[in-house]
A and B are shown apart, each in its own frame.
Chain A
Amino acid sequence: MVFVTCKDTVTGRACCVVLCTTEEQNLVKELVGLSTRDRIRAIRGLSMSFKEKKHIRLVLSHYVSLIIKQYNTNNQVLIQWSCFKLFSQSFRRCGYSIKSARQTLKLWQSIMKEIGGRFGTSVLSYFVFLKWLLMFNIFSFLVNFGFITIPLLVYDPSPNIPPNVSFTGLEMLTGAGYFTYTIMYYGGYSNETLVGLVKYDMKLAYFFTIAVYMVLCGIALIFSMASSFKKNYVLADPTSNSAWQLLSSWDFSITNERAVRQRKNNLRVQIQESLSDKAQRQLLTLSEKLKHLGVYLGFWLLSTSLVVGCGVSIYYLYAANWSLLQEAETLLVPFVVSLMNLVVPLLYSLFNKFEHYSSHRRQIYALVVRNILLKMSILAVLCYYWMNVVAKKFSCWESVVGQALYRLVIVDFLFLMLGSFFGEFLSNVIGTRLIPRLGVPEFDVARNVLELIYAQSLAWIGIYFSPLLPAIQILKLFILFYLKKVSLTQNCQPPRRTARAAQMQTIFIALLFFPFFVGSLSIVAYTAWRLTPSEQCGPFRGLNSTFSVVGVWMDDLHEIPGSQWVIWIYENIIKSEIFYFLMTLIIIDTYIAIENKPFMNCG
């Protein structure tokens, strides 16, 4: 027998562990063959000390959990492994009190617990997603501020503003005027090599900071998606629902008495519905099926034409409006964009009520796909206009685009607040006083998450043109959290259908990554690759394209001895197309490998 002692720093308790002897191993092997009741009785009857009995019991539970995992054999090696695990677990218990420093970084822990307790896991997933996006933006702001803005501020603290421009309050909303000449936008950054403690090349700093940030974002998203898929790898609907409903749908994290009562009610109603469905299942006739299909296609056509109409009208509005550059009027386009983003999804929800779906899930997917199409087309039209018209028309066009994005972000925030008012407060008033049949509204997780994703993609596109935009986004997300929390608790009821929270989380991340992040990345990449930077302002003035900064740096590096490897990497890897092809293959491979890894549990 081996005794190991260690001391727990919090409780002062000494952890004292005994590793197994052969007799103990044989005993475990015998006990595992009994049923739980017999096992409890047998252990009670053993003539061992209390501590030893406890030890046997713990070894048994580890061993059983190992058996059920992957191995179905009653194996000597496994028993020894269980003993070892027990040892390591106690050891870790002692050491882990130090690791609890992570607890202090838990922002909003108690609020999320309250929300999860009252509304369940699916509504909580929205708030978890919001917090996750906030972390992205905090990281982005720190990186940009630290590497791009601070060196400039240290070197040249006062912005060079022309004498006739002064600060009026309107800048907070439009981003133009006084702000145009500050470090808020691309135009405020110099292209020099700052000489201070070290020689700091602003051009390279700007380029690499943004490039590295985007790459890190992409990697973080890929890994989140992979781990999310791994946990929830079954995406298909199980063929029948009742066993699942009964045994695995109860949300253990609900702690509010009223919420529990409501859940029980909902479950009872769902069970009764599914029982009665079975009793009278009608087969739809062919004509009814055709009618449903016709209605469905009709509404799809209507939604697509709405999207096209929105896109075209924004383009012409922008084209017509650009001549009026007075400050207040520049707010017109963002206003129209946000109005469309508010109204059209409501129309889609209305369409949804007339359509007939075979399952609730398909209904949500159709709604989500339509909303994504709308938002992506709007972003595509705006970017097209910026890249093709604005880039050729203005002398400091990056700042102009940055201002347009700033306005979009601010107006989007105002409309999100309005949307909260209409979506939740008014629905509550209507549902309780005016039309009681509708009842108290539920929190629409899908619509709210899409709004968050849209806001985040605006921030991602804007990083290149306005490095401090993440600061605005941080403020926006912070305020939005509290706003949504208050709106939720005052106006909404817990969801009636037990939605599939885990799969929704996976889908949200996948949606964030594929259409929106890749789109934003492509736009920034296109800007860096193809468009000519403006001549008079910004860190890349005078160059043919932003990317040529790297070429210039490579030329400079030729003179410095010992940097041949950097030049070699550049010439043979970055410049060659094979590299990107290989990278894509590697990413796809890693992704598939993570997904297919056998489920290695620590138990």
Chain B
Amino acid sequence: MGNKQTIFTAQHKYLKLFPRLFYRYRDLAPQLVPLDYTNQPDVKLPYELIGSMPELKDNPFRQRIAEVFSEDGEGNMTLDDFLDMFSVLSEMAPRDLKAYYAFKIYDFNNDDFICKSDLEKTLNKLTRNELTEDEVRMVCEKVIDEADLDNDGRLSLEDFQHMIVRAPDFLSTFHIRI
């Protein structure tokens, strides 16, 4: 590696939103976020501010999203985390990257597998806890039956990706406009 200074010319278009995103980040807490980042201030916005953004406040997964993209794993985001979050959730981010982060979002206990309890939590968030316990159990079992390819009773990243490959809408639904 060493002194490589060649310019990488691939089209990472999902980073084009950078200036607008910076001003959105700053608008959340103008007194905390300086305009001048030359000294690389260590500014972290608490989860409450991030979760109150209009794009996120009604999303049932907003807490998990903030946790996944934040450095400390608790939802408090620096500017870089904020940019990463909206880059991955923009329409230009590639499918594999989105699948990777979606997997992490649904993996509530951070054990790199989506197990039955993760699925139950997901289902409850998506249906306002209105399904009966039996129904929840049946749906989760069905999902694991269908998607679990290596038969270990839980979904690994490969199983999840395999399922996403068969759902072409995923790219357009896993997308937040800002």
Contacts and interface: CB of A to CB of B under 8 A. Distances in A.
Contacts of A256: 58
B139 A102 contact: no
Contacts of A260: 58-60
A97 B18 contact: yes
A40 interface: yes
B38 A249 contact: no
Contacts of A97: 18-19
Contacts of A244: 163, 166-167
B119 interface: yes
A247 interface: yes
Interface string A202-242: 00000000000000000000000000000111100010101
A591 interface: no
B5 A4 contact: yes
Contact of B173 (A64, A80, A121, A240): A121
A493 interface: no
Contacts of B175: 121, 252-253
B23 to A, nearest CB: 9
Contacts of B36: 11-13
A244 B146 CA distance: 10
Interface stretch (A266-274, A281-289, A337-345, A542-550): A266-274
A275 B166 contact: no
Contacts of B45: none
Interface in A23-64: 35-37, 40, 50-51, 54, 57, 64
Contact of B8 (A16, A92, A234): A92
Interface string B116-142: 000100110011101100010011001
Given A92-B12, A96-B18, A503-B169, A253 B4 contact: no
**Interface range on chain A: under 10, 10 to 19, 20 to 34, or 35 or more?**
35 or more
Contact of B18 (A50, A57, A100, A242): A100
A25 to B, nearest CB: 9
Contact of B15 (A13, A51, A96): A96
Interface in B38-77: 38, 40, 42, 54-55, 57-61, 71, 73
Given A13-B38, A65-B100, A601-B96, A100 B143 contact: no
B28 interface: no
Nearest to A268: B127
A469 interface: no
Interface stretch (A81-89, A390-398, A403-411, A412-420): A81-89
Interface in B64-111: 71, 73, 80, 83, 89, 94-97, 99-100, 102, 104, 106-107, 110-111
Nearest to A234: B168
Given A11-B37, A272-B135, A601-B95, A243 B147 contact: yes
B111 A35 contact: yes
A84 B5 CA distance: 10
A242 B166 CA distance: 13
Contact of A84 (B1, B20, B160, B177): B1
A69 B168 CA distance: 17
Contact of A275 (B139, B164, B171): B139
Interface residues of B, number: 81
A107 interface: no
Contact of B161 (A68, A234, A249): A68
Most buried by A among B119, B167, B174: B167
A252 B173 contact: yes
A91 B37 contact: no
Given A84-B4, A100-B16, A246-B139, A264 B95 contact: no
Contacts of B167: 234, 238, 244, 248-249
A599 interface: yes
A116 interface: yes
A19 interface: yes
Contacts of B106: 247
A166 interface: no
Contacts of B100: 64-65, 68
B9 to A, nearest CB: 9
B177 to A, nearest CB: 5
A550 B177 CA distance: 50
Interface string B145-178: 0110000000001001101111111111111110
Contacts of A264: 60, 126-128
Interface string A90-107: 011100110110110000
Interface string A358-383: 00000000000000000000000000
Contacts of B80: 54
Contact of A85 (B8, B57, B173): B8
A89 B143 contact: no
Nearest to B54: A255
Contact of B96 (A16, A65, A272): A65
Nearest to A53: B71
A14 interface: yes
Nearest to B140: A246
Nearest to A231: B171
Nearest to B147: A243
A130 interface: no
Contacts of A271: 127, 131, 135, 139
Interface in B1-29: 1-5, 7-8, 10-12, 15-20, 22
Interface in A292-306: none
Contact of A19 (B4, B7, B112, B135): B4
Given A253-B175, A502-B169, A36 B104 contact: yes
A77 to B, nearest CB: 11
Contacts of A248: 102, 163-164, 167, 169-170, 173-174
Contacts of A12: 35-38
Contacts of B131: 268, 271-272
Contacts of A255: 54-55, 57-59
Contacts of A112: 177
Nearest to B5: A4
A251 interface: yes
A105 B35 CA distance: 26
B2 A252 contact: no
B169 A250 contact: no
Most buried by A among B40, B54, B177: B177
Most buried by B among A4, A8, A80, A257: A8
Which 9 A-B pairs have CB atoms at the shortest separation, nearest pair first?
Answer: A13-B37, A88-B8, A601-B94, A232-B168, A268-B127, A243-B146, A248-B167, A502-B169, A248-B170
14 contacts: A2-B2, A2-B4, A10-B22, A11-B35, A35-B111, A83-B1, A96-B18, A231-B168, A247-B147, A252-B89, A253-B176, A500-B169, A502-B169, A601-B97
